[in-house]
Amino acid sequence: MASSVISPCFSTVARRRISSSLPNPNQFLFSQSQSHPSSFATRNFPFVSIKASNTERIQEAFGSDPSSTPASASSSQVQTGTWIWRGYKIRYQYSGTAGPALVLIHGFGANSDHWRKNIPFLATSNRVYAIDLIGYGYSDKPNPRELGGSFYTFDTWADQLNSFCSEVVRDLAFFICNSIGGLVGLQAAVTDPSICKGIVLLDISLRMLHIKKQPWYGRPFIKSFQSLLRNTPVGKLFFNAVATSDSVKSILCQCYHDTSAVTDELVQIILQPGLDPGAADVFLEFICYSDGPLPEELLPKVECPVLVAWGEKDPWEPVELGRAYADFKAVEDFIVLPNVGHCPQDEAPDLVNPIVESFVRRHN
């Protein structure tokens, strides 16, 4: 669809560069990025770190045998709560009665149910909260046109996260984040360093569609295309093409390396909140949000420890690019998760859960 609206005044080369940077339904369920192949091979180990401390990390997470599978978590009751923030209803889930506080932050188009395979395990030794960011899941979805200015931004979500910690968690917390949730966690930690004890970033969005990462000659056209999505019926047509069971399943099968994890339950978890009134406006508002912070701008400002874990087979956020984040001072380790896609917490909880548990134990 994107290429059909490109102005003929651009050269062939320019058209190719610009069309490759325009949004398409297969990239916007959880992230804002471009599709790149990943070839970093780590198939023989549960996970591979590019920092020297990897052996210690493996032993700490899994015990002396890194190939062993962690014991199954006992069933912890997961409860649902509603919190009023700025007059809006925010849905969250929680479990666990003792230990450090963890707040789980989902990616674009997802919600707290995307952590259903993580909450019970982590709640055996932690107080775990998973929040629906405003505009997503079963939280309210105020119409951005009625609010004036930019509302669905990382500043807004960071304020929501910090307020949630102050008013609901009432304690310092570790932020466990997937995709754009990673930008939310980083922004929150930069905005108020006194709240966050540490951050785990799972396939954080590289934001390859950010205006700073586009060629200068394409930027005016991108703004025009965003205006087309926001202000004409084209945007709703675009959303309607995505908001179906078949489309959601197709997108998930692209970002999950193990497609057997794409169950009917998962499809409905993602789809159903997207059918709520106002969801289309939120969707279009965010895919037209091409400014704001980049991870490489926030990481130097973070004061707490950060662990980055990355699915080796992520087609949207390529591990080859993500590995550059290992060089930031705050990042204590970068772990590659073999044969895993963009949402490792759901596709490979047996790898992610002990990594999170180990990180929290080290820094609590």
pLDDT in tens, 214-256: 777 778 887 888 888 888 899 899 899 999 999 999 999 999 9
The residue that leads in pLDDT, 8 or 96, is 96
**How would residue 75 be classed by pLDDT, with cut points 50, 70 and 90?**
low
Q: What ranges make up the beta strands (E) of the chain?
A: 48-49, 79-85, 88-95, 101-105, 127-131, 173-178, 196-202, 306-311, 331-337
174 pairs with which residues across the strands? 102, 198
Strands 331-337 and 306-311 come out as parallel
Above 90 in pLDDT, residue 51?
Answer: no
Q: Whats the size of the chain, residue-wise?
A: 364
- Tokens of residue 181, six digits: 């949730």
Q: Residue 123 half-sphere exposure, CB side, CA atoms within 13 Å? A: 21
Amino acid 13: pLDDT: 26
**pLDDT mean over 307-330:** 95
Amino acid 74: pLDDT: 45
Across the chain, what does the average pLDDT equal?
82
Q: pTM of the entire structure?
A: 0.80
**How would residue 286 be classed by pLDDT, with cut points 50, 70 and 90?**
confident
